[in-house]
């Protein structure tokens, strides 16, 4: 076994042992069953020593030992470093928000404050119909675009079918590729993809809160095609099965891989559904299926394009909360004002932040970084070429700093 393969195997086994201390750490694993630790939990301090030793070993390999696998080794080294930081967190040793972003996810996002978001709110204030305070007015207006619970499966199935059809035009999927959808509740997230291996996923949708019409495409593409389901299936096929690179048989949630996983799942929505095509599909197909008046779509989507500019609000709130600059109630008020979410939804979002901390950056900055990386790689306006480079990135993952180096 070559030296990089040995490091990869040790990384997987280390990750599984860390996962004994945190049930959310290992998000997916489809490697050898016998690699699961059989004994009692390894003490965290011992795991940190193992991680440090692996990091040092990765730095000491010679050019002859790594041959043409420099990029693969860089990926592993960055993940060893992240593992060390996560062990520190499990030991109660926390960093400030920005330092944690860099240590866990290999990147630091841009920072935006109230002044930036106030400009966006002013534009929304001029667009949202009605009178009174913006949050209440916005949520009242938006209630007209909720998918009725009894129509949710039908609308979501149509969105999945369209997302899959568009993805299949650009990539071949295994014959046994499939996923099931479950409706759940009492979760801090709105949806989750549990990849089980062998090209199969379980996708859960949280029904605690109303599902708005635009979320059907968001969730079908983000969780399914060409998002998490395709990302994991691509890694399993091309890297684990074809190349035997076992570090990709495990997906650690609080790791640099998540920046690409969430970022590509979010940007994959735009790859599969260019804006005007998406608007037309939702207006002509999904609106009628949901029993929503398609004639109301024009203003709704004008508002949606502006609303997207509030995506970094989560980062602002998470940063201040993690840095102990604000308490829970202040965080909720900020979310209500700047994310325009209801109080109940804001409390759920704060629960997500408390549980996942700086992970929030993987959605917004992850998406923007993937977008910038692909724009740098695509030299023409061909949408087919965008698809090709996008799928190539999924099959050959890069961390945040690795993508940044390729952006000119």
- 3-state class of 378 per DSSP? coil
Residue 173 half-sphere exposure, CB side, CA atoms within 13 Å? 23
224-260: b (≥16 Cβ within 10 Å) or e? bbbbbbbbbbbbbbbbbeeeebbbbbbbbbbbbbbbb
CB 29 within 8 A of CB 249: yes
Per-residue pLDDT of the chain (408 residues; tens, 9 = 90+): 588 999 999 999 999 999 999 989 999 999 999 999 987 899 999 999 999 999 999 888 877 667 778 889 999 999 999 999 999 999 999 999 999 999 999 999 999 999 999 999 999 999 999 999 999 999 999 999 999 989 988 999 999 999 999 999 999 877 788 887 878 888 777 778 888 888 788 888 787 888 999 999 999 999 889 999 889 888 888 999 999 999 999 999 999 999 999 999 999 999 999 999 999 999 999 999 999 999 999 999 999 999 999 999 999 999 999 999 999 999 999 999 999 999 999 999 999 999 999 999 999 999 999 999 999 999 878 999 999 999 999 989 999 999 999 886
CB 220 within 8 A of CB 201: no
Q: Can you give the C-alpha Rg of the chain in angstroms?
A: 22
Classify strands 200-206 and 191-197 as parallel, antiparallel or unpaired: antiparallel
């Amino acid at each position: 076994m070559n030296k990089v393969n040995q490091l990869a195997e040790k990384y997987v086994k280390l990750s599984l042992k860390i996962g004994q201390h945190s049930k959310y750490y290992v998000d997916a694993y489809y490697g050898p069953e016998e690699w699961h630790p059989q004994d009692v939990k390894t003490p965290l301090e011992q795991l940190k020593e193992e991680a440090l030793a692996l990091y040092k070993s990765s730095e000491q390999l010679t050019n002859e030992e790594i041959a043409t696998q420099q990029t693969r080794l860089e990926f592993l080294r960055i993940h060893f470093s992240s593992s060390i930081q996560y062990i520190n967190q499990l030991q109660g040793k926390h960093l400030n928000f920005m330092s944690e972003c860099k240590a866990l996810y290999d990147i630091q996002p841009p920072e935006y404050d109230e002044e930036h978001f106030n400009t966006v709110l002013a534009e929304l204030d001029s667009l949202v119909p009605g009178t009174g305070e913006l949050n209440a007015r916005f949520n009242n207006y938006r209630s007209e675009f909720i998918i009725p619970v009894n129509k949710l499966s039908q609308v979501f199935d149509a969105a999945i079918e369209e997302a899959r059809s568009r993805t299949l035009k650009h990539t071949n999927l295994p014959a046994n590729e499939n996923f099931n959808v479950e409706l759940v509740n009492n979760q801090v997230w709105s949806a989750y993809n549990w990849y089980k291996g062998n090209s199969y996923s379980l996708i859960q949708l949280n029904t605690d809160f109303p599902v708005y019409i635009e979320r059907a495409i968001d969730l079908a593409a983000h969780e399914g095609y060409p998002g998490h389901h395709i990302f994991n299936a691509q890694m399993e096929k091309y890297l684990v099965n074809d190349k035997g690179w076992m570090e990709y048989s495990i997906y650690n949630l609080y790791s640099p891989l998540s920046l690409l996983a969430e970022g590509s799942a979010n940007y994959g929505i735009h790859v599969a559904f260019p804006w005007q095509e998406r608007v037309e599909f939702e207006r002509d197909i999904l609106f009628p299926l949901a029993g929503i008046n398609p004639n109301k779509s024009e203003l709704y989507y004008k508002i949606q394009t502006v609303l997207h500019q509030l995506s970094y609000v989560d980062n602002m709130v998470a940063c201040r909360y993690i840095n102990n600059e604000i308490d829970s109630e202040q965080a909720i008020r900020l979310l209500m004002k700047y994310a325009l979410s209801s109080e109940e939804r804001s409390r759920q979002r704060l629960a997500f932040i408390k549980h996942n901390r700086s992970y929030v950056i993987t959605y917004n900055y992850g998406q923007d970084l993937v977008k910038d990386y692909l724009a740098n790689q695509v030299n023409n306006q061909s949408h087919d070429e965008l698809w090709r480079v996008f799928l190539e990135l999924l099959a050959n993952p890069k961390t945040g700093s690795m993508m940044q180096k390729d952006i000119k």
